[in-house]
Structure 1
Amino acid sequence: MAFDDWQGRTVYDVLATSRSSTVLDSSGAANQLARLGDWLRVASPAAFARANRTSVLRTMHEIDLLALIVADGEVWRLTASHGPPQLARVASLAELQDPLEAFRTQPTHGKVAAGLGALLVPEEAFLRRETLHVVLDWKLGSLPLAALRHGGVPLIAVRPIVHALRLPEVRCVRAQPPGHATVIGVSGPRIPNAVVEADEVAALLHTSSVTGANATKEALFAAANDAVLHVAAHAELVLDGAGLVLGDGEVSALEISARRVGPALAVLSACHAAVSDDGELGGSLVAAFLGSGSQHVVATLRPVSDAGVPHITTQFYREGGVADPVRALATVQAKLAMTDNADWPYFAVFGSAVCQGGTLDRE
């Protein structure tokens, strides 16, 4: 996947034009992004990585964007808020390693979340209410950014967050109409509640769950064009990237991509759903579904507890997750942030914001 190289080259190119300042104004950054768009389009065949440079630059003037980029050992922050992008140096990656690791392991710790939040997220990001579009370098990809705090308040309690694997080309997408839902559940020694979760979700979606030995690869492939696919199962890193462990064996991200399994909404209640061992997330389950045509993928950033997950996923659907996954997950996470639930920070929505009011012109 070319996105990470593009991020790095963008920063290198911009820095070459202005070594004297840690903040670059919009025109400089925009020009670099425009020139590098050609490289990205040629270098990567993945559907989700084919960026239209004109669309990217236009969209950056229409959304609130926060991108964290690692280049040459330095962490940079690219921001845009209904205007031209700005690029600012945050710190060296080495300087951030300790606070990053502390936050990854205890994201609900107020002091830890506030300390890192002050470094990574501009204060004005906590003052807006519209959806924040987030792009994270693969070295920061498992960061539960929703839990970063300012003034004791987690970012997700202020505004919805949608993650993307590259800079977005559109401001928002239309809500998907209701349709067929497939719910798959496969329990195991570490996830005994997976079938229970699948049954509860199926009831909310007015369908029957497919569980145990019946939860096969073919059952997954049959959901290629569904409105919703919910998978409660174990996931692990396999030779072809990340993979789901189903009733008849593993199905890899590569297989999912090859079979073009792209339901409008894919909810992956499984560990390692948003990660890959290729260092660029191209082999992740999230990338597989988005590349196959899914508009939204809800996935975990790190391993989560079997006991806490069903509450999060069922509440997600009760809050309207099928119609607007971004706002539904934000609502659930904001509520759980006031409880002792420790799993909520590790869920994220990947894809696009959902347009509000039935129009593509306004969010």
Structure 2
Amino acid sequence: MTLISKPLTKYEAHYDPTKVLNDPEFRILAAGDAALKDKATNLACAYNPAHEVHMVAKPTPTAGPGEAVVHVKATGICGSDVHFWKHGHIGPTMVVRDECGAGHESAGRVIAIGDGVTNLAVGDRVAIEAGVPCGMADCDLCRTGRYNACPHVVFFSTPPYHGTLARFHAHPAAWLHKLPDTVSFEEGSVCEPLAVALAGLERAGARLGDQVVICGAGPIGLVTLLAARAAGCAPIVITDLFQSRLDFAKSLVPNVRTVCIQREWSPEETAAEIRKASGGSLKLALECTGVESSIRAAIFSVMFGGKVFVIGVGKSEQTYPFGYMSTNEIDLQFQYRYANQYPKAIRLVAEGLIDLKPLVTHRFPLEQAVEAFHVAADPLHGAIKVQIHD
């Protein structure tokens, strides 16, 4: 079986998923399997095209040239992990075709280094940047620093590449970021969604004193709220369908203004409530859901010359009010992952400008990762960020 048909770059070849799937050490673990309790097992969590999520044993990695092996200590479950499990794809190209390991929000401790690694030592605590671009001299996107769009990027947990939700993970040392002693593994893990929010604020051009609405109070919306507050945006309005999430937002930033959206409202009616809550002209909307009706509400909420910046991921085809946007000179801008944000994210946490600790609401040991996925997928549990620890 071949999952990759295009020519492989150095990283794609190295992380070819068929090597994992065809290794005799790789196997699906049944409940009660002794390997679940064996701390030497490279225990991981994976999903497949049958929409099953289960524990697997993976080959134990060794550190190749330029690599470090990390004992992963904390991994957060992202909405994309749940989406791949439940729906089997995101868009037409990212498709679950076989067993695929989950997880890309991870931090841990270096336990081995390979030849040529000079930036890390055994024992270092690191956050794992999950997207590894090709770095080839003829890749314009890598060369110009926009490596998030590298066509040959290996993004762990995006099919076909297995994720970082494993006990042991080998990673290029250049894409491991040291954590100060004051930053926990939990916080290092949440630096991944923080990197998403920071990329959005940077590309949206948010400035001190900008009046902002954040659409959606899920994990990305909440971390965007923290980042926007640290950037000096004021006032900030945040919206959601669930009052409980807005209450959580208030606990993070007490002076945030909230709008609990009613499902029967039209986008125009939602926008009117947003403008009323802001008390003035909104310059920027940070849309964190990707839902068409929410994006339309954001468009109607901003002032002439305003901007709607979409951080969330939604359905592939959507409709927007072109005539209204044109006559009001409203910019509509989008984001794909992030680049050059991890060092900044770690600094902001280490210096106390952004407190990520409250976002982690549920914790599970690695052996109970399947249970953790079910909690993350069920809104009735009220989870903001579910993490898996080892």
TM-score normalised by L of structure 2: 0.32
Structure with more helix by fraction: 1
Larger radius of gyration: 2
TM-score scaled to structure 1, two decimals?
Answer: 0.34
